[in-house]
Amino acid sequence: MTEDARTTLPLVFEQPRGRKKPPRHLADLSAEERAEVATALGQPAYRVKQVAHHYFARLERDPANMTDLPTATRDAIAAELLPTLLDEVRTQQADRGTTRKTLWRLFDGALVESVLMRYSERATVCVSSQAGCGMACPFCATGQGGLQRNMSTGEIVDQVVDAAAAMANGQVAGGPGRLSNVVFMGMGEPLANYRSVVNAVRRMTSPAPDGLGMSARNITVSTVGLAPRMRQLADEGVPVTLALSLHAPDDELRDELVPINTRFSVEDAVSAARYFFDVTGRRVSIEYAMMRDVNDQAWRADLLADVLIEHGGRGWVHVNLIPLNEVPGSRFTRSRDDDTDEFVRRLEAKGISTTIRDTRGDEIDAACGQLAATDA
């Protein structure tokens, strides 16, 4: 099947049916849409702008603390635009308080997680974009439970605002600081919830009071390789960083590790990643979870380098090797250090820039592929 033919196919996993939508929230709306809501409420536009300033610039999520608004006005606007989207079930800490994993209950009882990680030079929040995930990657805890539903723009943004507030208020070890990075690597396949994710990125990058004023290049959107959506994202005009979770350079193995590969092959995914680079000028990150005796052979490192080089040289791409986060009961285990080192050596010998990812949050199951969102 050609790429064009695939583009016209409906992505059937995108909209689970029969689910009630999350309540509308300020963060779901653009500045123009917020002004329309103000008119509908009979409020002057500047009042809704004041609320947006509290939310995006002061990172205040509780209407009760927006004390410069007249109470009646505040209550009317809060009822329409500030419903509670995320109920905290619990927050766990690791890495001497610099990693925090929060379990959230959504309005319909669905559970999702986000993880805030503070490093010496940056602070990153890893957010969920779907409750569960329909991609069924066999090595991933999230994938085992299937997809419950897509998250709304507001539900995604609220995770970021909560993390930014936790940093600003000094709730993370190391004193008050600033949230600098967002990665869409929590629960879900972001590009299967395309519109909500792109709108969330717009809210994050719009200057205050219309958004959080973050740099698009500090926002990473990951995907298992939904090629048509990767191309659409390239054309969207939001220069985020794209991370392609490849995990295997050959279709035979990738069909097993990333089942959507039977629909969008290695060639489809890598071509779309290259297109993203051509359009945005942003170097693409290739994510590769190292699984012992499964995908970590030296010949696969050579093949991976060749596949990437075939798509236009070396400078467009960076490989990020991820020590596998083992899921209890899974047959997939973490690669030996020697095999990982050899994998790096082979890639670098062919001129491919490569790093091994720091594994934060292992001890609280907060690492990539471990977010199962159980309240047990």
List, by residue number, the catalytic residues. 113, 368
CA-nearest of 26, 197, 224 to 205 is 197
158 near ligand SF4, rule: CB under 6 A: no
Q: Smaller CB distance to ligand SF4: residue 77 or 135?
A: 135
Q: Smaller CB distance to ligand SF4: residue 131 or 219?
A: 131
Q: How does DSSP assign 295-359, residue by residue? A: T--HHHHHHHHHHHHHTT-STTEEEEEEE--PPTT-S--BPPHHHHHHHHHHHHHTT--EEE---
Which DSSP category does 291 fall into? Answer: B
C-alpha to C-alpha distance for 195 and 204, rounded to whole angstroms:
14
308 near ligand SF4, rule: CB under 6 A: no
366 near ligand SF4, rule: CB under 6 A: no
Among 51, 69, 133, 214, binds ligand SF4 (CB under 6 A): 133
143 near ligand SF4, rule: CB under 6 A: yes
C-alpha to C-alpha distance for 376 and 54, rounded to whole angstroms:
35
Of 7-15, 181-189, 291-299, 354-362, which part binds ligand SF4 (CB under 6 A)? Answer: 181-189
Among 137, 270, 273, 317, binds ligand SF4 (CB under 6 A): 137
CA-nearest of 193, 189, 265 to 227 is 265
253 near ligand SF4, rule: CB under 6 A: no
Q: How does DSSP assign 44-103, residue by residue? A: -HHHHHHHHIIIIIS----GGG-TTS-HHHHHHHHHHH-----EEEEEEEETTTTEEEEE
Q: Smaller CB distance to ligand SF4: residue 135 or 248?
A: 135
C-alpha to C-alpha distance for 168 and 162, rounded to whole angstroms:
10
Query: Apex CA 106: angle with CA 239 and CA 41, to 5°?
Result: 80
224 near ligand SF4, rule: CB under 6 A: yes
Q: Smaller CB distance to ligand SF4: residue 130 or 199?
A: 130
CA-nearest of 312, 310, 298, 311 to 349 is 298
Q: How far is the CB of 116 from ligand SF4 (least distance, A)?
A: 18
Closest residue to ligand SF4, Cβ-based? Answer: 143
190 near ligand SF4, rule: CB under 6 A: no
Q: Smaller CB distance to ligand SF4: residue 38 or 327?
A: 327
189 near ligand SF4, rule: CB under 6 A: yes
Q: How far is the CB of 239 from ligand SF4 (least distance, A)?
A: 23
Of 73-81, 138-146, 162-170, 227-235, which part binds ligand SF4 (CB under 6 A)? Answer: 138-146
Output phi, psi for 262, to 5 deg: -65, -20
Among 135, 167, 201, 272, binds ligand SF4 (CB under 6 A): 135
Q: How far is the CB of 192 from ligand SF4 (least distance, A)?
A: 8
β-strands 354-356, 147-150 pairing: unpaired
Residues in contact with ligand SF4 by the rule CB under 6 A:
133, 135-137, 140, 142-143, 187-189, 224, 369
